[in-house]
Chains A and B, each alone.
Chain A
Amino acid sequence: MTQIAHLVIRGARLICPVTKRDEIADVVVERGVITRVGKGAGEAARGPEDSRVVEASGKILGPGFVDAHAHFREPGFESKEDIESGLRAAARGGYVAVAAMPNTSPVNDTAAITKLMVERARSVGGPKLLPIGAITKGQKGETLAEMTLMRDAGAVGFSDDGRCVVSSGLMRRAFEYAKTIDVPLIQHAEDHSLTVGAEMHEGAIATRLGLRGWPRVAEDIIVARDLLLASYTGGTYHLAHASTHGSVALLREAKSRGLRVTAEVTPHHLLLTHEAVLSFNTLAKVNPPLREQEDVDALRAALADGTIDMIATDHAPHGAPEKSCTFTQAAFGIVGLESAFALIRRLEKEGVLTFMRIFESLSTAPSKLLGVIPPALKEGARANFALIDPARVHRIERGASKSVNTPFFGQEVEGRVEMTVADGAIVWELT
């Protein structure tokens, strides 16, 4: 993917949380850098012969998305996804950078694996890959992984995602060590002793289907404890995929005390309840599980008011063998990179979120967490943006990801990413 020599986007609605801009204007990109932004900026622009002009009236141009939580399955499970297909899926979804969780095989708990992932992504091109290293060796929750060495190889944060660091003593030391080397910890909050054999949210639907329950309190207990430990150690804490109204209340209280913690929520937790599992729908099997309307309402309100900082996909690809089976045997996970914007658009239509807040939660907030420069529509910035047709109706179907495991499959959605520019190069364009 080569850097853009000269690109003019004309007449789009520019929405940029970094510059607080929301206006119809032009953007001019030269040699990968935004050189001009403003009304009529594209008229005056006179580029070379190969200059590209995109008439974008009616479209939205926003900062490229950054995903704080995805699973690219490489190394180890390349039949589900690999770094190449994952990054291509990300580009189609408007993403310019994606954090890849460490539950690969082997686990990304050493600099060698981190380096392999970074190099692989570099050879593929497209959106930037941001490796997340494991907090503990082998994600076993016993001893600390080599966080400094991984950081220097490119890891931007640490998590045992899929597993929770259950030991309070170990989590305390992880906080302290991570603070020493200035990296954030990302917690998958689940007290595993409360979720033995769990298959879905514990409640009326689980009882009806005879499936084993994953109670909210298993998440809330860890969130409460982690907030206490974050306060005690001063470490940087990020809560992965918040799913309960209890987590929301705990976060709100902690933030009101000035504690600097962040949290993410997924599109599926914002849009679906445990009823999606009825008739043993394995596509709705996910961890943490889909919960109840009161949780959905709390998560939406929290995302709107900033208690929850960002939207992350938890893109978790699985092939047919892991989903075309009984519910008990099915794997947990939902893909999300290609459908995130169109699904979140539903919340804009419902008046829950503004476009400004959507771009902030899909781009600016995760950038800050992961230590990358937040994509911005401003002169002098590297071009990292997504051009979106907000009115374009389409169906969620197979895209660039190797997997299609989403309960939204086949649904009609509105709003489509038509072009993604990452680090000055066009990485996706709808043709």
Chain B
Amino acid sequence: MSHLLDIASLEKDVISSILERSRVLRGDKNPPKVLSGKIVANLFFETSTRTRSSFTVAGENLGARVLALDLQTSSVSKGETLLDTVKALEAMGVSAFVIRHSESGAPHFAAKRTSAFVINAGDGRHEHPTQALLDARTILDKKGRLEGLTVAIAGDVSHSRVARSNIHLLGKFGAKVNVAAPLTLMPRGLESFGPHVHCFHRVEEALEDADVVMMLRVQTERIEEALFPSRPDYHRAFGLTKARFALAKPDAIVMHPGPINRGVEIANEVADGPGNVILDEVANGVFVRMAVLEHLFSEPLA
């Protein structure tokens, strides 16, 4: 593995070793500083608090110097392109780029044109591979396995890179995935991801007997695009209420990539109730990202 661009093309045994390594790192108060002397650049072309912080902490835990660039306000506004930014930082000795970009495929584009490592921290609607890894780590912690579980993924699937990465990963490990979205937010042809995918437009059907319930963030800008009428209307049609959550298995867990729109995709009583593992996801994010960085740097640069 010379980059981490997507889960779709990632081999199962690589995923397994990252997941296992992240568990070990979690118990290691003083992890080996394998990135000592290295520079990692966080290129976040979209705002993000938790993913960017998580990558920064992960890199620093391994001894790297981490450049966190706020590209919302710096060179990008001067018309400098993604590629120019990558090339310039590469010339300064950066050996890995963590890229978050609003365009699907932007990290792939950069990876083809740099000899540094590229980690996709979320590209458009395409993938968010480290989110799927940290979600898998969290499910493993709570359920002890992925195989044979039923995972419901519900919400704005159309715009969700989190959903896509999770659907790919869960399929590779033998979980069944029930995907639910209002038809305005359901992408076409999702069943082609594999026979483990089952699509519903009634959220209740997807929740039935689920071991894991993953709710997706719905953005209010979708109201302007006429994809749903209002936050209360969405909540009524699709929000995870206590009654709906009761359709899942009694020991079901609730996940969310954050930040949560309380009272929209998840009712307060569910967000704060039993089964909520949202902060476990955040904690695991650091260890999974450390494992990814370690894995990349264990191989010679191309």
Contact = CB atoms under 8 A, between A and B. Distances in A.
Interface of A: 202-213, 215, 279-280, 325-329
Nearest to A199: B104
Interface string B75-96: 0000001100000000000000
30 contacts: A202-B188, A203-B188, A203-B189, A204-B188, A204-B189, A204-B190, A204-B192, A205-B189, A206-B188, A207-B187, A207-B189, A208-B8, A208-B164, A208-B189, A210-B104, A210-B105, A210-B124, A210-B126, A210-B164, A211-B105, A211-B125, A213-B188, A215-B188, A325-B109, A327-B104, A327-B105, A328-B105, A328-B106, A328-B124, A329-B103
Contacts of B124: 210-211, 328
A373 B101 CA distance: 54
Please name the 5 residue pairs, one residue from A and one from B, whose CB atoms are nearest each other, closest first. Answer: A204-B189, A210-B126, A210-B125, A204-B192, A280-B105
A203 B188 CA distance: 5
B82 A326 contact: yes
Contacts of B104: 209-211, 280, 327-328
B130 to A, nearest CB: 16
B161 interface: yes
B187 A206 contact: yes
B127 interface: yes
B294 interface: no
Given A210-B124, A210-B126, A280 B188 contact: no
Interface string B186-213: 0111111100000000000000000000
Contacts of B190: 204, 207
B106 A326 contact: yes
Given A280-B109, A326-B105, A208 B192 contact: yes
B123 interface: yes
Nearest to A211: B104
B235 interface: no
Contact of B123 (A202, A210, A329): A210
A211 B187 CA distance: 10
A246 to B, nearest CB: 15
**How extensive is the interface on chain B, given as a class?**
20 to 34
A327 B125 CA distance: 13
A207 B126 CA distance: 8
Interface of B: 8, 81-82, 101, 103-106, 108-109, 123-127, 161, 164, 187-193
B113 to A, nearest CB: 9
Interface of A is mostly: loop
A211 B105 CA distance: 9
Contacts of B188: 202-204, 206-207, 213, 215
Contacts of B101: 326
B179 to A, nearest CB: 11
A343 B161 CA distance: 37
Contacts of A325: 81, 109
Contacts of B187: 206-207, 213
A280 B127 CA distance: 13
Interface centre among B8, B104, B161 (most CB of A within 10 A): B104
A165 B99 CA distance: 40
A268 B170 CA distance: 36
B198 to A, nearest CB: 15
Contact of B192 (A202, A207, A213, A329): A207
B153 to A, nearest CB: 14
A327 B103 contact: yes
Nearest to A215: B188
Contacts of A205: 189
A205 B188 CA distance: 9
B129 to A, nearest CB: 12
A240 B29 CA distance: 66
A218 to B, nearest CB: 13
